[in-house]
C-alpha cells in the first residue's frame, strides 16, 4: 500500500476533527472513481478497503444510488473482462492517445472531437 501526504487547510482539518481521515479520504476518492464510471461499485469498495455493504451505505450517504444487489464475484469477473479486452489488442480511439498529447482529452475536447467527426461524416454523405 502506498502512502500519500496531503497538505490541507488548517480550518478544514479542524472541521474534520479527529476522525479517521485516511479512511475517509480513501472512501471519497473511491466513490468518485465509481461516480466517474472508472470502476465498479465492488472495485471502489475494494480500493477503499471497506466491505461492500458498508461502502454502499457510505455511497448512499453521499447522494449515490448504488444497486441493491452486487454479485460477490463481480471484482473477479471485472478483472477477467479487462484481461480479455486487453488480449484483443484493439487500437485505442484517437481521443484517448495520451502519449502524443501529454494528457487525456477533457470532456469539452472530447465533445468537440465527436462533433467534428459527425460534421466530416455529413460532408462525405452530402458530397456523394
* Closest CA relative to residue 26, chosen from 9, 3, 10: 3
Residue 95: per-residue pLDDT: 54
Structural domain tally of the chain? Answer: 2
Residue 89: per-residue pLDDT: 78
* Closest CA relative to residue 74, chosen from 107, 43, 95: 43
Question: What is the domain extent for residue 1?
Answer: 1-74
Clarify whether residues 9 and 70 are in a common domain.
yes
How far, in Å, CA of 36 to CA of 59, rounded? 13
Clarify whether residues 32 and 67 are in a common domain.
yes
Clarify whether residues 59 and 33 are in a common domain.
yes
Whether 99 is in a domain gets the answer yes
118 grid coordinates: 459527425
Whether 86 is in a domain gets the answer no
Whether 82 is in a domain gets the answer no
For the chain, which ranges sit under pLDDT 50? none
Provide CB contacts within 8 A for 37, sequence distance 6+.
none
Residue 68: per-residue pLDDT: 67
Residue 120: per-residue pLDDT: 84
Whether 83 is in a domain gets the answer no
Cα angle at 21 between 20 and 22, to 5 degrees?
95
Residue 98: per-residue pLDDT: 53
Amino acid at each position: 500500500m502506498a502512502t500519500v501526504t496531503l497538505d490541507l487547510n488548517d480550518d478544514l482539518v479542524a472541521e474534520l476533527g479527529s476522525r479517521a481521515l485516511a479512511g475517509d479520504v480513501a472512501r471519497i476518492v473511491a466513490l468518485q472513481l465509481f461516480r466517474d464510471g472508472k470502476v465498479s461499485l465492488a472495485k471502489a469498495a475494494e480500493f477503499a478497503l471497506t466491505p461492500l455493504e458498508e461502502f454502499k451505505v457510505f455511497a448512499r450517504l453521499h447522494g449515490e444510488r448504488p444497486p441493491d444487489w452486487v454479485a460477490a464475484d463481480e471484482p473477479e469477473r471485472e478483472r477477467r473482462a479487462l484481461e480479455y479486452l486487453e488480449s484483443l489488442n484493439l487500437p485505442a480511439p484517437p481521443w484517448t492517445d495520451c502519449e502524443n498529447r501529454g494528457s487525456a482529452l477533457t470532456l469539452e475536447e472530447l465533445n468537440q472531437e465527436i462533433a467534428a467527426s459527425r460534421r466530416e461524416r455529413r460532408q462525405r454523405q452530402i458530397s456523394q
